[in-house]
Chain A
Amino acid sequence: MIELRHISKSFKVARRASGLASAFKALFSREYATVQALDDISFTIQPGEIVGYIGPNGAGKSTTIKIMCGILVPDSGECRIMGCTPWQDRASYVRHIGVLFGQRTQLWWDVPVMDSFEMLRDIYRVPRQEYRRSLEQLTETLELDGLLRTPVRQLSLGQRMRCEIAASLLHNPDILFLDEPTIGLDAMSKQAVRQFIRTINRERGVTVILTTHDMQDIEALADRIIMIGKGRLLVDGKLSELRSRFGSHKTITIDYRAPRSRTTAVRMMPELPGTQVLSMDEERAILLVDTERTNLSEVLGAVSSHLEVVDVSITGQPIEEIVLSLYKEHEL
């Protein structure tokens, strides 16, 4: 369905030192640096999958999405999506995809949401009946009833995002690209958005490619994650596999009475094999422990012999930290 093979892409970026003098100099001659945005990326995605596409800022996520949407042309490599090469058959291809950029709106700002939807219907040439059916369904599942008559600029971010999602699905796309769909939303709205993405995936069989920095999104939605960093593909696998690979890790949060200074606290932290200090301040430390190498009670014992422990909580490792340790592993 979606197949990327050896996709590479580099950008030329103008480079100059700061300051007025060099800004002036840059008017006449410029130095360019080539940034390798994507380096030999290959993956295949089957219909009906939800894939979490993650990586730190500047890793090349958006570039990949833009290539898959036909906005950018890669320097080399092949990309076949539903039998099309996105940047060659743009007009016929984009009919089959829905794209949502979480940071930008696709609705017309000053008119009621309904008007924007009708405009999109005309742009995508959606037949009236099909449009009515899909609008009804979307209104119901996203609870848009009260919103459709309101001008977009008066909606809250959460309400707007629900409308945005509806807007990118009006033409019944087979693939949905979501670029940070939950950015800036409150917990409730995030829930609603995730719930909905799951629903359309299950009921309409829409393939979803999702980029996000919110690992809870990934945890709630994705069966599979693809991670890139510095333009290279680092991890491609089932979430469950990742979990079992890092499952032996536990996170211990320890609250203690403040020692005289931060440095003493640092000195007092025991150095045990397989134990890693994730964060630490005067009253709280968060440790990551590999239980295959060190026993939990051993760590707790060591800590409490040095510090006056107030409270301890132990959790299995959330996906957030799995990803974080993956970033560290690949030195991102």
Chain B
Amino acid sequence: MRLLCCYLSILFRSQMQYRTSFWLLATGQFFLPFTTLAGIWFLFDRFGSIRGWEFPEVAICFAVIHMAFAISECFARGFDTFSSLVVSGEFDRLLVRPRSTILQVLGSRFEFTRIGRLAQSLIVLIWAIAHASIDWTLLKGCTLVLMILSGTIIFAGIFILSATMCFWTVQGLEVANILTDGGKELAQYPLQIYERWVVRFFTFIIPFGCVNYLPLQYLLGRTDGHGLLYALTPLGGLVFFIPCLFIWRIGVRHYRSTGS
């Protein structure tokens, strides 16, 4: 953990060498999601509600997912751009250092400009919380934080999975973007509005549902009886993450036995 902070600090100092570009990118990241949000708003403006979901409720969903995406893109960027690490041979360098590969790949890159996106979704979240009719309790607060954290972990898990593919293909696979960007686009609405199989896939395979509409039901007090169960669904993100780490280890072993 301390080492991760060291990585953070050294990369932050590097980033600060390029201040203008940092501010420009961060500003861009700040405004980008507004276009999507505007789209959602127009939709609601026209139809009023979608399957019983009001705009502020969807906005919570939107904010949580975008925050999670921003945080995980900021921290797990190393995995997102992992193919360049393999192609340039930098990964060899990591292997001759006595620390875990996960930690070192994480530490190879942070994308600080995502702070812009984070700020934007925070504003949306605050607005949405103020306008949605939710009776806040401590547990609900915890659930909300848990949703964001768990979402971050799910995105990080997908980044790791796609990075692992590089051990076999060397080049990065855009396929994984279906899951990251696609997942982000999908999960900014409550999943309930989609077809059954989509809901199932994104609940049991890649558990966006666990950070999305299941806990949201609890926040809005729409659960019938099993409140606590719904409150804890974000932990599903962890369940997804562990096999990702496992697959990564297999990948590393494979790399060492073939690549040059």
Q: Is chain A's binding surface mostly helix, strand, loop or mixed?
A: mixed
Interface residues in A78-130 (C-beta closer than 8 Å to B): 87, 90-92, 94-95, 97, 99, 101, 104, 106, 108-111, 115-116, 118-119, 122-125
Give the contact-size bracket for chain B.
20 to 34
Report if B96 contacts A (CB, 8 A): yes
Report if A11 contacts B (CB, 8 A): yes
Report if A72 contacts B (CB, 8 A): yes
Report if B13 contacts A (CB, 8 A): yes
Report if A71 contacts B (CB, 8 A): yes
| A196, B152: Cα distance in complex, Å | 48
Pairwise interchain contact B260-A91, C-beta atoms closer than 8 A: no
Pairwise interchain contact B92-A95, C-beta atoms closer than 8 A: no
Closest chain A residue, CB of each to CB of B252: A90
Most-contacted residue by chain B among A69, A95, A123 (CB, 10 A): A123
Most-contacted residue by chain A among B3, B6, B88, B97 (CB, 10 A): B97
Give the contact-size bracket for chain A.
35 or more
Pairwise interchain contact A104-B13, C-beta atoms closer than 8 A: no
- Shortest B106–chain A CB gap in Å is 13
Report if B14 contacts A (CB, 8 A): yes
Report if B2 contacts A (CB, 8 A): yes
Most-contacted residue by chain A among B18, B88, B98 (CB, 10 A): B98
User: What 0/1 pattern do residues 8 to 38 of B give for CB contact below 8 A with A?
Assistant: 0011011001100000000000000000000
CB-contact partner of B256 in A87, A109, A110, under 8 A = A87
- Shortest A48–chain B CB gap in Å is 22
Chain A interface (Cβ < 8 Å from any Cβ of B): 11-12, 37, 62-63, 66, 69-73, 87, 90-92, 94-95, 97, 99, 101, 104, 106, 108-111, 115-116, 118-119, 122-125, 151
| A119, B7: Cα distance in complex, Å | 7
CB-defined contacts of B259 to chain A, threshold 8 Å: 72
Pairwise interchain contact A69-B95, C-beta atoms closer than 8 A: yes
- Shortest B22–chain A CB gap in Å is 12
Count: A-B pairs, CB below 8 Å = 77
Report if B257 contacts A (CB, 8 A): yes
- Shortest B110–chain A CB gap in Å is 12
Pairwise interchain contact B6-A122, C-beta atoms closer than 8 A: yes
Known: A71-B256, A101-B89, A123-B97. 20 other contacts (CB 8 A): A11-B258, A66-B260, A69-B95, A70-B95, A73-B257, A92-B98, A94-B96, A99-B96, A101-B93, A104-B89, A104-B90, A108-B11, A109-B14, A110-B14, A110-B17, A111-B14, A116-B10, A118-B6, A124-B98, A151-B17
| A70, B95: Cα distance in complex, Å | 8
CB-defined contacts of B89 to chain A, threshold 8 Å: 101, 104
CB-contact partner of A108 in B10, B97, B100, B257, under 8 A = B10
